[in-house]
Amino acid sequence: MSKNNFPKLHNATWPGIVGKGDHEPIISLDELLEKTAHANVDGVKFDGIDLGLFSAHVKLDPTDENVNWLVDKVGRYDLEIGTLVAPIWSPDGGSAMGTQADRDRFVAVVQKASEFGYKLRKQGIRTNNVIRIDSATSVGEWAKNPLENTKIIAETFRRACDVAATYGERLAAEGEICWGGMQSWRTMLEMLEMVDRDNMGFQADMSHTFLYLLGYNEPKDRILKTDFQWEDRAELERGLQFLTDKLRPWTIDFHVAQNDGTVFGSGSHDKTGRHCLPTDPNGKLDIVKDAGYWLRDENGNPNKVFDHICWDGCMFPNEVMHKQETWNSILETMIKVRNAHGWSV
C-alpha cells in the first residue's frame, strides 16, 4: 500500500457487471477484489476500489447488516472504498427525465446510495464522499425536446443533490456520450450550470470524454477539426486543452483509461467510448501525459483535487479480466500517472 502517496490508486468493480449478462457471465465481486488486491508492481499495490452498488455485487439497502458485510468483505483484502455508483438505471431506479414516478425512484436510489456511503465513511473504510450518477436516458429520447428535457433532468439532479447533501455526499455526473443531456462537452456544461448545486460536479473518464473531441452523438460540438488525422498530435493536444479547460473546474472524480477512437457497447449498454487495455497498440491517448490535462491546474501544478484516481475498463472481455497480468499492467500504468502528476505527504 502507498498511504503517503497521492492520489491513491483504485480499481473499479462495475466492469464486472456493465456489459455482462447477455453474452458473458457477470464477474463476482470476490474475484474483482482478489485480482485488485493481488496486483503488485515492485511492491506498490492498489489502495482501494471504487464500487458500483449493483445487486449482483451488493445489497443497496443501507442496513447496518449490509454495510458491515461489505466492510468485512473489502477490509479483509486491506482495501479501502472510494467513489460509489448509484444504480439509478436498475429496476429500482428510473430515468431522470422520465415520468414523475421514474424521477421519484431516481431520487430514492440516490438517497439509499448516499446513506450507504455515509455509513461506510463512519466505519472508516471509505475515503471520499462522491457518488456517480447519469441521466439514465438515451440521447434519442432527450433529442425529442432538448430544451424541456434538459430542464427536467436538471430538476431531478437538483432533488438528488439536496438528498445527497443531507448525508454529506457529492454527486458526480458521468461525462459519457450515451447519456441524454450529457453527450457532449457543451450539453454537459449546460447541465452542470443549470443544476447549480455546490455538491454537483463532473466525473471525467479519459476514454469517455475523449469521444467529446470527435462529436459523437452531437456533431455540432465536435472540438477537433473535421479533417483531423490521428498523426496530428498537436491538434489532439489543442483539443484536450480546450476540453479540460471547460470541464476541469467541475471535475471531482477521475478515471484513467485508454481509447482507440471508436465507440463500443455490449450487453444492454449503449455504445460509448471504447475502453482499451493500456498496452493496446490502437490506443490514441498518451495515457500518462494526457492524464495531466485533468490532474494539473492552469499553471501546470498538480491540482490535488482528487484523493484517488480510478482505472475503468468497462466491457473488457471476461478472458482478459480473469488474467492477473491484466491488473498488474493496469496498476503499472496507474503508478506512472501518479509519478507524473501526484504528490506525497
pLDDT single digits (tens) 164-198: 999 999 999 999 998 999 999 999 999 999 999 99
Q: Give the per-residue pLDDT at 273.
A: 61
Residue-level pLDDT at 237? 98
- pLDDT at position 2 is 54
Q: Supply the angle between the helices 146-165 and 100-123 in degrees, to the nearest 10.
A: 30
Listed as ranges, residues in the chain with pLDDT below 50 are 1, 264-269
Class of domain 5-338: alpha beta
Euclidean distance between CA atoms 270 and 19, whole angstroms? 9
Strands 272-273 and 263-264: antiparallel
Tell me: the pLDDT tens digits for 110-133?
A: 999 999 999 999 999 998 999 999
pLDDT at 61: 95
CB 131 within 8 A of CB 164: yes
CB 222 within 8 A of CB 187: no
Q: Which three cell numbers stand for residue 165?
A: 447533501
Instruction: Verify cis geometry, omega within 30 degrees of 0, for the bond prior to 7.
Output: yes
The C-alpha atoms of residue 169 and residue 162 are separated, in whole angstroms, by 9
